């Protein structure tokens, strides 16, 4: 049995879950990076810096017709992403964040994930965007399955992602 994620009924679409400073959406539909960038500008018109990251479905099996299937644990996703944003907000001078993660079936080259951060200063915006993405990859309950003509395989977690997360924790210890 699989969670049916309908973008119209997804609780994360409830505007009550999103303040101007912390916008999170989990959806099947594609998103428009330009619209998200505009929204970040509108959150704070006098802002100094916006950093955005867009993750795409890359080719994982050469020459084969490939698709990804993405599943998540809705209630936990919301808690984890809110917590990551809270930590980033405590750590850097950031004004607002936008996170979008797609679920369902995605084809090669499609957009999967968007992270946008705005801040008075570029260093904070770059660092916070990287931090949010690194923790999303290791802590947010999403799972990918690769679907090719030769079969379906669930993607395995990568050590390099765990190392990226650990890097931030090591840095915290050094600064304490």
Partner 1 sequence: MVLKSAKNVAENPIGSPLMITLRYFAQLRETLDCGEETMQWQEHINTVAALKTQLSQRASHHTNHSHNHLYNDRWQKAFNGNILCAVNQEIAQDNHPIQDNDEVAFFPPVTGG
Binding site for partner 1 (CB under 8 A): 1-3, 55, 70-73, 75-76, 79, 101, 112-113, 133, 136-145, 154-158, 161
Is 53 or 126 the residue whose CB approaches partner 1 more closely? 53
Please give the backbone phi and psi of residue 154, each rounded to the nearest 5 degrees, phi first: -70, 135
Closest distance to partner 1 from the beta carbon of 46 (Å): 31
Smallest separation, CB 44 to partner 1 (Å)? 26
Which CB, 67 or 138, lies closer to partner 1?
138
Output the CA torsion 123→128→133→136 (10° steps): 170
Written as six digits, the tokens of 52 are 């955005």
In terms of phi and psi (left: phi > 0; alpha: psi -120 to 50; beta: otherwise), the region of 159 is alpha
In order of 5, 46, 54, 81, the CA distances from 74 in angstroms are 9, 34, 21, 11
Given the complex with partner 1, which of 156 and 173 has the nearer CB atom? Answer: 156
Q: How far is the CB of 56 from partner 1 (least distance, A)?
A: 11
Rounded to a whole number of angstroms, the minimum distance from the CB of residue 158 to partner 1 is: 8
Question: Residue 153 corresponds to which tokens in the numbers above?
Answer: 């395989």
Nearer to partner 1 among residue 95 and residue 137 (C-beta): 137
């Amino acid at each position: 049995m699989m969670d049916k994620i309908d973008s119209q009924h997804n609780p994360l679409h409830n505007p009550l879950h999103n303040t101007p400073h912390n916008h999170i959406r989990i959806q099947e539909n594609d998103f428009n990076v330009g619209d998200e960038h505009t929204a970040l500008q509108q959150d704070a018109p006098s802002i100094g810096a916006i950093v955005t990251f867009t993750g795409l479905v890359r080719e994982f099996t050469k020459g084969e017709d490939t698709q990804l299937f993405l599943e998540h644990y809705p209630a936990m996703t919301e808690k984890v992403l809110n917590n990551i944003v809270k930590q980033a907000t405590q750590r850097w001078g950031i004004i607002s964040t936008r996170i979008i993660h797609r679920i369902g079936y995605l084809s090669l080259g499609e957009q999967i994930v968007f992270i946008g951060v705005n801040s008075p200063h570029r260093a904070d915006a770059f660092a916070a965007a990287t931090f949010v993405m690194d923790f999303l990859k290791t802590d947010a309950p999403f799972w990918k399955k690769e679907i090719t003509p030769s079969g379906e395989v669930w993607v395995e977690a990568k050590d390099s992602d765990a190392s990226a997360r650990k890097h931030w924790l090591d840095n915290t210890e050094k600064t304490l």
